[in-house]
Structures are given as C-alpha cells and as structure tokens.
Amino acid sequence: QQPVQSPQAVILREGEDAVINCSSSKALYSVHWYRQKHGEAPVFLMILLKGGEQKGHDKISASFNEKKQQSSLYLTASQLSYSGTYFCGTEIRSNNDMRFGAGTRLTVKP
Amino acid sequence: EAQVTQNPRYLITVTGKKLTVTCSQNMNHEYMSWYRQDPGLGLRQIYYSMNVEVTDKGDVPEGYKVSRKEKRNFPLILESPSPNQTSLYFCASSLLGQSLNEQFFGPGTRLTVL
C-alpha cells in the first residue's frame, strides 16, 4: 500500500528542472508532498485532491492524475535551498491514514 | 507558538526496559500520528488517532502501544523494546477536513535499543 517514488535520487545544478513521481497500486483520494532537510522534520509542501488538479507555489508545482493513480512534483529552475528528501504521502479514502513513499533525495549543486 | 513537541529527543535504552515517548500539540488538532523513519524505507506509520479514545493501527504497529486520553497528547509506548525498534520517531498532528490537512511534525526522537 506504500506508494512508489521515482527516481530514488537526483543531482541537479542550480537552475535545472526536476520531476519526482509518485505512483500507487490503489485508487487515491489525495496526494500530499513533503520535503525533509537533513536532520530536520518533514515540512508540508502541498496537497492535491482527486480530480486531476494541479497546484503550485513559487517554482514548485504538482499534478495528480487520478486515472493513472499517480502524482508528479515539478521543481523548476532549482535553487540550492531545494536540496532535501521529498516524500509523497497518499490517502486512499477521505480522512484515511497516510502512507508515505520511501522518498527521493534531491541534491542541488552550485 | 503553534507546535508539536516530543520528549525525549534522544534516548538510549536496553532491550526489555519499558519506555514512553511523549507527544503534545497545542493546535487543537483532531488527528495525531506516529511514524518511524529508517534509511531507505521512508516514513512508516505506526499508529494514528482521529480523536480522543480513537486509535488505529498503521503499517508497523507490532511492539508499540498508544493512547489518546486527551486531545493534545498522544504518547507512544514500547512495552519491551528490542534492537529492531532502533529508529528515528516522528509524531505529527493535523486538522481533519475533506482530507487530511497539512501535517505538522514534531522534531523527532532518536531511539537506540541496545
């Protein structure tokens, strides 16, 4: 029931773009994205509810494809501060318990 | 300041010695949850609670107990810790709405069981 994230790790130069994918074997009610910097707690980025909506703030956005049971996180013109591990979390029913993926480690170099 | 607090932050103990990790939130959140984080495995849910006196098992509940007697507190109890419970533990809380809302995580508790 744990969602699958890909890639496991990615290294970028400042200014480059990245896409992180999150897929599930079950139909999803919502997808949540979090970022965790080394030695810190995860921090919320955004939630997407079923319906194929897309959300974003600043240069980070995400889409949710209900039919494909997957979500993608888009990081545009990456900055050094984007480095960290990104987790997607999924609910299969409203107000159901959360399942997180294993994470994608993103490293942005100058 | 709105926050989730956990105590202790670091704990080294021995096999079989009962311990409790406390979690408290001051945001009046209905939902609280415990996760453990291990390298390469991400965050795995141990138990969660949607309200006082309502708790449910997550993915990895074996060897753990929880209670929710008050809305703000959600302690994690290890009755007889074993070395495979050595991990980084996070407590989180959230408002409940149409879906789970933003989860606020505590600072984490690093537990080592010898």
Q: Which residues of A touch B106 (CB under 8 A)?
A: 41
Residue B56 forms contact with A (CB below 8 Å): yes
Average pLDDT for residues A3-25, to the nearest whole number?
A: 96
CA distance A16 to A79: 8
φ and ψ at B71, to 5 degrees? -60, -35
Out of A30, A43, A100, closest to residue B43 by CB: A100
Query: Which residues does A88 contact at the CB level (< 8 Å), separation at least 6?
Result: A3, A5, A20, A22, A31, A32, A33, A34, A71, A73, A100, A101
Mean pLDDT of chain A: 90
Structure tokens at A30: 């919502």
- Sign of the torsion angle spanned by Cα atoms B83, B75, B3, B52: positive
Predicted confidence band of residue A83 (pLDDT cuts 50, 70, 90): very high
CA A9 to chain centre: 13
Structure tokens at A53: 């909506």
Per-residue pLDDT of chain B (114 residues; tens, 9 = 90+): 889 999 999 999 999 999 999 999 999 999 999 999 999 889 999 999 999 999 999 999 999 999 999 999 999 999 999 999 999 999 999 998 767 788 999 999 999 999
- What is the reported pLDDT for A52? 57
Terminal CA-CA length for chain A: 37
- What is the reported pLDDT for A98? 83
Query: Which residues does A82 contact at the CB level (< 8 Å), separation at least 6?
Result: A35, A60, A75, A106, A108
Residue B70 forms contact with A (CB below 8 Å): no
Give yes or no for residue A6 having a pLDDT over 90: yes
Report the DSSP pairing between strands A60-65 and A30-36: unpaired
Average pLDDT for residues A39-66, to the nearest whole number?
A: 83
Residue B99 forms contact with A (CB below 8 Å): yes
- What is the reported pLDDT for A68? 82
Average pLDDT for residues A53-80, to the nearest whole number?
A: 86
Give yes or no for residue A55 having a pLDDT over 80: no
Q: Which residues of A touch B100 (CB under 8 A)?
A: 30, 32, 47, 91, 95-96, 98
Give yes or no for residue A56 having a pLDDT over 90: no
How near does any CA of chain B get to the CA of A5, in Å? Answer: 10
